[in-house]
Chains A and B, each alone.
Chain A
Amino acid sequence: MTAVLAVEGISKRFRGLLAVDGVSFQVAPGSIFAVIGPNGAGKTTLFNIIAGTFAPDRGSIAFGGERIDGFAPDEICRRGIGRTFQLVRPFPALSVEDNVLIGAMLRQRDPASARRRAHEVLARLELFGKRHQPASALTLPDRKRLEVARALATDPKLLLLDEVMAGLRPAETDRMVSILSELNREFGLTILLIEHVMRAVMALAERVLVLHHGAAIAEGSPDAVVRDAAVVQSYLGAEAVD
């Protein structure tokens, strides 16, 4: 089976700092793939390179067999990769519904059918009841779900999630986990997530890539990765293995 996303030897340098150092991995269609690592490991940089915010200095990225490295963020979205932002970026003055509607308009040019699509997505993300509120009025957990809803409304084949669990309480994390695994199961949506919350990673991911100082230090199933000596040393700490 060919990978949906194939990242080959990606490197990115910011002046003296080698933020991402020759990282390669492949994401299989319909799978959930997690990238973990301590703060400053290069996770968000890697994510931003895939989403088109930065072009890599070296290496290539193929999506569905097509080279996409160096493409602009809007071109990448149009090809079928949706993304969220670690620091949420809603359209604050617009209603929750209009936020999602704008995402849906990528595939449904007609406002009425885009609105129908937005309603479906809002219902799935449990935001339908709040659809008339301005996005600026939402609480952080709701904003995190709005990020996912808006990206999902573009009907992506691959959804990139940048720390959507960060700042959520355990109950809210579980809610997000169940929403994401439903999307994955029912629609075969491929998900690439960057995550600090190990509870969510263990529950969702089929494969995990661990970054440290910009380089991949381990890759495998979640169970295997948390037992990896290098990972424990660099990131999780000895107590996490219990």
Chain B
Amino acid sequence: MMARLLDGVAGRGLALLAGLLAVLLVVPWVANDYVLTVLIIVFYSAYTGQAWNVMMGFAGQLSLGHAIYVGLGAYAAAALYVHFGVAPWLGLAAAIAIAAACGAVIGFLAFRFGVGGVYFAILTIAFAEFARIGFDHFRWVGASSGFFLPVANYTRNDLWNLRGDPTMFYYVMLALTVVAFALCHVLLKSRVGYYWQAIREDEVAARSLGIDTFRYKMYAIVLSAGMTAVAGVFFAFYYNNLFPEQVFHISRSIELILGPIIGGIGTLFGPLVGALLLTGLSEAMQELLTALGLDVPGAKQVFYGLCLLVVVMALPGGVWPWLAGKLGVTGPRS
């Protein structure tokens, strides 16, 4: 397992990665809560971007409705906690199962009946919108007036119930990001990862090599949905409030995919680099605007648009393949 984890990683890249991880581990001792909060958002975007990348970057299936899996995961774990006192780590299993089942339904409908490309993307949007409207009327979880987790001043961190200060959430989200990264690395080097890439590159040719493309596309959507639901559970317990209009909204699905697109679709580091760039730069810009005494609503969205524009024009493969070349680390598809 360990050998497989390190397989194909250049020495220099490995040293860089170890250094980065060491720095991230000590950050909470030196940084204030604001920096921690920004980094939590960075990890959250990197994690969800990585999960989305399994479907689009690896298997070539464009989902524009990934908010549905975040939302289902968030509501499932939150409802179990609020109504039945089930700890989030147990609720996680239910969250993953529900989101994965939803992914399986969408995947089955699309892949069995030959819905691909743009039409598949539209189907994913339709399901997310359906969920948004459905949850708006779902009284058991607060419907459109929102669903709230109990908030109190915690004297100590309760990891089991995910109640605590930003430092605890920081480490939880960092761990999730590292695990997702390692999982994707191993997957990409395994049979399923190669089969996904074959499907992404040319599905007809993939079938001619004996690949059951329906089955492998199902694996991709179920895994991606399950992984995304984990982020949803974190989202619920970190923000403590859930509104269908926000959680399931299409803008959430779009935000989720900007990181990997800007960082580099189909690469392992792309979602990380993209999340860091987008969140880091947009926070810095907000700070700058505040310092200048300016209040510009929508500045973040305009900024995202500009980032996307620059990357699409100048670096269509994303920032990471270019950066990897500059750093002299592993190949562009790592």
Q: What residues on B are CB-neighbors of A154 within 8 Å? A: 209-210
B215 CB → nearest A CB, Å: 9
Q: Tell me whether A91 and B210 are in contact (CB under 8 A).
A: no
B residues 176-223 touching A (CB-CB < 8 Å): 189-191, 194-195, 197-198, 201-202, 204-213
Q: Tell me whether B209 and A103 are in contact (CB under 8 A).
A: yes
Q: Of A51, A74, A78, A89, which contacts B202 at CB under 8 A?
A: A89
Q: Tell me whether B205 and A90 are in contact (CB under 8 A).
A: yes
A79 CB → nearest B CB, Å: 9
Q: Is A167 an interface residue (CB 8 A)?
A: no
1/0 per position for A66-96, CB-CB distance to B under 8 A? Answer: 0000001110011000110100011111100
- Binding stretch for chain B, among A54-62, A105-113, A193-201, A221-229: A105-113
Known contacts being A101-B194, A102-B195, is A91 close to B208, with CB within 8 Å?
A: no
A-B residue pair count with CB separations less than 8 angstroms: 73
Task: Report which residue of B197, B198, B209, B266 has the largest number of chain A beta carbons within 10 angstroms of its beta carbon.
Answer: B209
Q: Of A92, A98, A111, A151, which contacts B208 at CB under 8 A?
A: A151
B256 CB → nearest A CB, Å: 23
Q: Is A150 an interface residue (CB 8 A)?
A: yes
Interface size range on A against B: 20 to 34
Which residue in chain B gives the minimum CB-CB distance to A147? B205
Q: What residues on B are CB-neighbors of A91 within 8 Å? A: 197-198, 201-202, 205-206
How far is A177 from B296 in the complex, measured between Cα atoms in Å?
70
Q: Tell me whether B195 and A85 are in contact (CB under 8 A).
A: no
Q: Tell me whether B201 and A73 are in contact (CB under 8 A).
A: no
Q: What residues on B are CB-neighbors of A83 within 8 Å? A: 208
Which residue in chain A gives the minimum CB-CB distance to B201? A91
Number of interface residues of B (CB under 8 A): 21
B165 CB → nearest A CB, Å: 43
Q: Tell me whether B210 and A89 are in contact (CB under 8 A).
A: no
1/0 per position for A144-156, CB-CB distance to B under 8 A? Answer: 0000001100100
1/0 per position for B303-327, CB-CB distance to A under 8 A? Answer: 0000000000000000000000000
Q: Of B194, B201, B211, B333, which contacts A74 at CB under 8 A?
A: B211
How far is A167 from B240 in the complex, measured between Cα atoms in Å?
65
How far is A14 from B93 in the complex, measured between Cα atoms in Å?
51
B17 CB → nearest A CB, Å: 22
Q: What residues on B are CB-neighbors of A77 within 8 Å? A: 207-210
How far is A54 from B198 in the complex, measured between Cα atoms in Å?
22
Q: What residues on B are CB-neighbors of A82 within 8 Å? A: 208
Q: Tell me whether A89 and B205 are in contact (CB under 8 A).
A: yes
How far is A51 from B197 in the complex, measured between Cα atoms in Å?
22
How far is A101 from B189 in the complex, measured between Cα atoms in Å?
11
Q: What residues on A are CB-neighbors of B189 within 8 Å? A: 111
Known contacts being A90-B205, A91-B197, is A74 close to B213, with CB within 8 Å?
A: yes
Q: Of B191, B202, B207, which contacts A105 at CB under 8 A?
A: B191
Q: Tell me whether B207 and A73 are in contact (CB under 8 A).
A: yes
Known A77-B209, A89-B208, A151-B209; 8 more pairs at CB < 8 Å: A74-B208, A74-B209, A85-B204, A89-B202, A91-B198, A102-B211, A109-B191, A111-B194
Can you list 23 contacts pairing A with B, beta carbon distance less than 8 Å? A72-B207, A74-B212, A77-B209, A77-B210, A85-B204, A85-B208, A89-B204, A89-B205, A90-B201, A90-B202, A91-B197, A93-B197, A93-B333, A94-B197, A94-B201, A102-B194, A102-B206, A102-B209, A103-B209, A105-B194, A105-B195, A109-B191, A154-B209
Q: Which 8 A-B pairs have the closest CB atoms?
A: A91-B201, A77-B210, A89-B205, A106-B210, A73-B207, A78-B210, A74-B207, A102-B198
